[in-house]
Amino acid sequence: MENRSAGSRQLISSVIHFPMEEFFGEPIEVEKAETSPRPLRFKWHGEIHDVVEVLYERVDTGYGGLPPRSRKWYTRRHRRYYVVRDSKGDVFEIYLDYSNRRRLSWWLVTRFDRKRPDPFTKQPTGEDNGQNH
């Protein structure tokens, strides 16, 4: 496993507060909107996952783990990451690699743990438990 992949997963996990369940790093087929790169659904291991919500997105044009002497304009990454929720409630990190404009590729990076509370749903804080003092 490369350091730059681990760093990316740690960043996403820390931003959305989901502990990781599984890392995949596998190519997937994606259907996207006609006028946007946002995914509508993706196919992974023969199963269709309908995207009901994009929870987070970012663009990566960095150099990953390359040493400074190897950092040139042509060694930059060209990726658009999405953290998406499917119609079954599963949360995935996927990305579009557009470094080769003639042959775009999509990748499944991670599926996040469903057993943890959803950080996008307001959770009770205990400050206001409905009791009047």
d(CA 101, CA 34): 16
Cα–Cα distances in Å, from 101 out to 64, 75, 78, 104?
20, 15, 10, 6
Global model pTM greater than 0.85: no
Instruction: Quickly state the pLDDT bin for 71 (edges 50, 70, 90).
Output: confident
Give percent above pLDDT 70 in the chain: 69
Range in 10-14, 36-40, 79-83, 114-118 with the lowest mean pLDDT: 10-14
Considering only residues 48 and 25, tell me which one the structure prediction assigns the higher pLDDT. 48
* Per-residue pLDDT at 25: 85
